Structure 1
Amino acid sequence: MLRAAAAAGIGLATGALAVLAAQRHAIDSLRTRTGHLEQVAHDQRHINLANQQHLHWELLSKAIDSPELAEVLDIFEVPTSPQKRRQYLFANALYTNALFYYRIGNISRDELFGYVRGLLQNPVVREYWYATQGQRATLAEGSDEAEIGKMIDDLLHQLEDADSDEWWVVGEPPS
């Protein structure tokens, strides 16, 4: 009787181990599948961003080439001439391109900061930035673009307050 009980116990333990091994295999398979799906979602987000960036550039290009179409995008704080509007639209294209590169991970936040610091040396880009502050005020609090906008606002104020002509050292890159 003891042998039968011991055999039954060993059989029960073996069965439990087999079930645990099968469950472990199922969990590992699910983790692998979840990791794959997360990568696919990440890649799809990059594809969507690239498609949006391409569409944005096409629309801006049409507006830059056509004063009539550019009037549709004239939502700046101050009235602008057709020439200034085209310059602002191009400044927007430069900014959104850099923002896109940051979002997909091609440049770091520090690199974006340095690039924008260089862009802000151009008076037209500075005018554009001020002319679009109302648009940035409508961005969702805490969104990537709102945070980047605040970073650039701070940088612009630091550049304007700087006593040095060495603009490339002005401002602290974000942490």
Structure 2
Amino acid sequence: MFTKMHAAEMLRCVVTAGLGIAAGAVATSAAQRRTFDALDARLKYLERTTQTQRHTNLTYQQRLHWELLSKAMDDADLAEVLDAYGEGVSTKRQRQYLYANAMYTNMVLNYRIGNFTRDQFYGYARGMLQNPIVREYWHATQPHRATLDSATEEAQLGLMVDDLLHQLEEADIDEWWVVGEPPPA
């Protein structure tokens, strides 16, 4: 009888211990899940903060770029510092090139911070390239874009505009707004 009671008591202890271990595992798992969820929420917050800071930095850089270009457009002596187009570019044309650069840089910024989709960027570029001065500017600055790291977003957008300009120059239709397809992202 002692053996049966001892065996039953031991079985009850083992079952109780097993249930205790299982309950502890469930509690630990729930606590880990809460910790994981809290860490995940914090990570998402930090990612949003980082993205917001990146957009702020890009916007600030764009503002500085515009201020520098504005000074150069207003002062021929300062514009000479930015003259990297080669011989034969008049002061008037150089100022127009600086303005075309400001327009293009603004489009790039809008794309990079998410105000434009890739298709919208492409559409704006197509419209911009209807102006002969902008086309001339784009050709004059090709050597500048050639120095960009081809893996950068800026270089990829420039190549996309290069291709679009080539398609527009080769097109034999007056409906420029239908020329070209943006490459897949």
Do the structures match in fold with TM over 0.5?
Answer: yes
Number of equivalences: 175
Find 1:55's aligned residue among 44, 54, 64.
Answer: 64
Match of 1:23 in 2: 32
Structure 1 Cα separation of the partners of residues 182 and 150 of structure 2: 21
Query: Is it true that 1:97 corresponds to 2:97 in the alignment?
Result: no
Match of 1:155 in 2: 164
- The question of whether the paired residues in 2 share the 8 Å contact of 1:67 and 1:82 is answered with yes
Find 2:125's aligned residue among 97, 116, 121.
Answer: 116
Structure 2 Cα separation of the partners of residues 127 and 121 of structure 1: 11
In structure 1, stretches of 5+ residues that fail to align are none
Structure 2 Cα separation of the partners of residues 102 and 19 of structure 1: 46
Normalising by structure 2, we get a TM-score of: 0.91
Match of 1:11 in 2: 20
Structure 2 Cα separation of the partners of residues 112 and 29 of structure 1: 38
Structure 2 Cα separation of the partners of residues 97 and 2 of structure 1: 76
Structure 2 Cα separation of the partners of residues 116 and 29 of structure 1: 44
Match of 1:146 in 2: 155
Q: Percent identity?
A: 59
Name the structure, 1 or 2, with higher relative contact order (CA <8 Å, separation 6+).
Answer: 1
1:6, distance to aligned residue in structure 2 (A): 1.5
1:80, distance to aligned residue in structure 2 (A): 1.3
Structure 1 ranges of 4+ moved more than 2 A: none
Match of 1:2 in 2: 11
In structure 2, stretches of 5+ residues that fail to align are 1-9
Q: CA RMSD in A?
A: 1.1
1:79, distance to aligned residue in structure 2 (A): 3.7
- Bigger radius of gyration: 2
1:137, distance to aligned residue in structure 2 (A): 0.3
Structure 2 Cα separation of the partners of residues 37 and 83 of structure 1: 47
- The question of whether the paired residues in 2 share the 8 Å contact of 1:159 and 1:170 is answered with yes
Which residues in structure 2 correspond to 1:20-99 (within 5 Å)? 20-99=29-108
Structure 2 Cα separation of the partners of residues 137 and 162 of structure 1: 25
Could you report, residue by residue, the CA deviation over 1:67-90 in whole angstroms, capped at 9, with x for unpaired residues? 111111111244411111100000
The residue identity in structure 2 corresponding to 1:43 is: T
1:173, distance to aligned residue in structure 2 (A): 2.6
Normalising by structure 1, we get a TM-score of: 0.96
